[in-house]
Homo-oligomer: A and B are copies of this chain.
Amino acid sequence: MINILIADDHTMFVDGMESILKTEVDLFVAGRSYDGPSVIDFLKENKVNLVLLDVNLPGMNGIEVCKEITASYPDVKVLAISMFNEESFVSEILNNGAKGYLLKNTGREELLKAIRTVAAGESYFSKDVTETIMKGLMNQRKASAKSNAFFPKLSRREKEVLKLIAQEFTTQEIADSLFISLKTVESHRSSLLSKLNARNSVGLVRIAIENDLLQ
């Protein structure tokens, strides 16, 4: 008998999940949680073998909940469930002790198989999720190049000018607001174009937004 705790803030989903599990003789729904903290509370009082854990949980993030579970209750298996096949979610929660990761578009049979596999101590991932992980590993180099790692360092003034450009101010307006010459602003803009390898201000702003350089 596998004692299961379902943790998801979508009641409708929990109801449905319970209906599925109820038909199986070897599975028992020991409890239901609609937020992070109540999962921890429940584990204190009850004997649970496996937690069906939604990654996007309110109150306390699913990843934190998972971390807490594997730290305090190493025997309790965690099967993560999410709407999203996003590499960041998958790798995050796997690094925090989850034994499997399912998407919510997984079918009934695969769900049951995943539960039994994880409860037996093995790992289980949706096919799509496996692909995502592989892709993530393959693009590791590319990802690190894209992120802040090799990102050109911008000076204080350049950042100021960049922010004002992104707010649709003209060069003259930027000059006035910073109390410097129009030529100076153009000089900063030119440096930005060169550093960020952009062809024009549109490129500057696109790159700035993509790299969260504004505000």
Contact = CB atoms under 8 A, between A and B. Distances in A.
B107 A12 contact: yes
A104 B108 CA distance: 18
B13 A13 contact: yes
Prevailing SS type, chain A contact patch: helix
Interface size class on chain A is 35 or more
A201 B170 CA distance: 11
Contacts of A201: 200-202
Contacts of A107: 11-12, 15
Identical copies in the complex = 2
A205 B165 CA distance: 12
A204 B168 CA distance: 9
Interface stretch (A16-24, A86-94, A129-137): A16-24
A20 B9 contact: no
30 contacts: A10-B83, A10-B103, A10-B105, A11-B104, A11-B105, A11-B107, A11-B108, A12-B13, A12-B17, A12-B81, A12-B104, A12-B105, A12-B106, A12-B107, A13-B16, A15-B16, A15-B107, A15-B111, A16-B16, A16-B19, A34-B105, A166-B202, A168-B200, A170-B199, A170-B200, A200-B201, A201-B201, A202-B204, A202-B205, A205-B205
Interface of A: 9-13, 15-20, 22-23, 34, 81, 83, 102-108, 111, 165-166, 168, 170, 198-206, 209
